[in-house]
């Protein structure tokens, strides 16, 4: 055998008998040769989804800035000196108009985000009518409002909410390096409330936070071991914003991001894997590899909460080039 010949051992079957993945097993997937990993993920993708279709979501910040949390990546935190100012909540009419425009542009899901640690009951009441009216437009509805208290998830479900987004952000062991104002268990507690109310879960994380590959494997392991697995899994690439603690984070190699998409697909084969924040800086060829590796959802529109996103026309051109159609 030639000394430069690639030698590797394939991990065990994708379906774990116990339903649980170990960090070591997920790291073994990451360690596969790049082309082999993408190929395997593409095969699994085709077993569960039409590889020519992509789910389109639009995200709107209905309450921007002034968040009391200290997430190291977020320009909306009051702990960081960034250009994002504290703004009042949008009106119901403003939100519904934005949802109507999103639908006209081809989006199938409309996501509403608010910069809170968690909604007070009075805050939540103002959002329920937004959810009802967006749902009446024929769109799937999603909300990301932070930590939920008892009974709040049920109110959102009753208003017509389909999905609740609450990301784990990173691996448990890395979490305290990124956020100090809440615990990892707080996030899991909210996810439990969301499931208990019968809502679908949108839950993913961020890569590029100066984490190691083991940390990335730890994040994917946590997501894959949620029971049931999240219906949507957004994979975000850090968008560095001046004034945040992570503005000088080390650049993540693009192949590592594609690997993360592929590993998410292999470990969560029936979930929508969303190519999320950071896509604006990704070349078209990189995005194409992400779709090949199992990404089948994108945020669609010119803004993600407070950071830029490829505009609608650019996305239409790219999807046409790749012969991808919206769901």
Q: Is 259 a catalytic residue?
A: no
DSSP label of 291: H
CA distances to 49, 80, 204, 308 from 286, rounded to whole Å, are 21, 31, 20, 18
Q: Which of 182, 187, 216, 274 is catalytic?
A: 274
Residues linked to residue 92 through DSSP beta bridges, in sequence order: none
Look up residue 111 and give its two tokens.
């996501």
Residue corresponding to tokens 């990546």: 73
Q: Which of 142, 187, 259, 265 is catalytic?
A: 142
Q: Is 203 a catalytic residue?
A: no
Q: Is 202 a catalytic residue?
A: yes
Q: Is 67 a catalytic residue?
A: yes
**Cα four-point dihedral sign 97, 102, 106, 111:** negative
Q: Which of 71, 182, 187, 216 is catalytic?
A: 71
- Residue 23 exposure: Cα atoms within 13 Å on the Cβ side: 12
Q: Which of 40, 67, 182, 290 is catalytic?
A: 67
Q: Which of 74, 187, 203, 216 is catalytic?
A: 74
Q: Is 142 a catalytic residue?
A: yes
Q: Which of 40, 109, 187, 202 is catalytic?
A: 202
Distance CA 255, CA 30 (A): 11
Q: Which of 10, 46, 53, 111 is catalytic?
A: 111
Give first-to-last CA distance, the chain, whole Å.
47
Distance CA 327, CA 310 (A): 19
Active site residues: 67, 71, 74, 111, 142, 202, 274
């Amino acid at each position: 055998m030639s000394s430069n010949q690639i030698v590797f051992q394939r991990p065990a079957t994708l379906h774990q008998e116990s339903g649980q993945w170990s960090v070591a097993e997920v790291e073994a997937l990451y360690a596969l040769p790049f082309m082999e990993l993408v190929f395997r993920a593409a095969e699994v993708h085709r077993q569960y989804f039409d590889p020519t279709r992509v789910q389109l979501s639009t995200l709107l910040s209905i309450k921007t800035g002034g968040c009391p949390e200290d997430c190291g990546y977020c320009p909306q935190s009051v702990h960081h000196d960034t250009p994002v100012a504290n703004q009042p909540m949008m009106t119901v009419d403003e939100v519904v108009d934005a949802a109507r425009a999103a639908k006209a542009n081809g989006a199938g899901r409309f996501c509403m985000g608010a910069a809170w640690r968690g909604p007070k009951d009075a805050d939540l009441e103002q959002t329920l009518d937004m959810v009802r009216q967006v749902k009446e437009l024929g769109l799937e509805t999603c909300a990301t409002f932070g930590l939920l208290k008892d009974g709040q998830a049920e109110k959102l479900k009753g208003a017509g909410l389909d999905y609740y987004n609450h990301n784990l952000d990173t691996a448990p062991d890395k979490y305290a390096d990124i956020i100090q104002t809440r615990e990892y268990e707080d996030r899991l507690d909210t996810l439990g409330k969301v499931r208990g109310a019968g809502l679908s879960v949108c839950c993913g994380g961020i890569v590029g936070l100066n984490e190691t590959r083991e940390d990335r494997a730890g994040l994917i392991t946590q997501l894959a071991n949620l029971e049931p697995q999240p219906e949507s899994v957004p994979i975000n690439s850090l968008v560095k914003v001046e004034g945040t603690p992570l503005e000088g984070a080390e650049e993540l190699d693009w192949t590592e991001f594609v690997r993360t998409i592929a590993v998410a697909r292999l470990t969560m084969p029936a979930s929508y894997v969303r190519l999320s924040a950071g896509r604006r800086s990704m070349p078209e060829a990189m995005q194409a590899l992400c779709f090949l590796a199992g990404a089948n959802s994108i945020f669609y529109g010119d803004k993600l909460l407070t950071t830029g996103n490829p505009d609608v026309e650019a996305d239409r051109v790219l999807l046409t080039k790749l012969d991808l159609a919206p769901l």
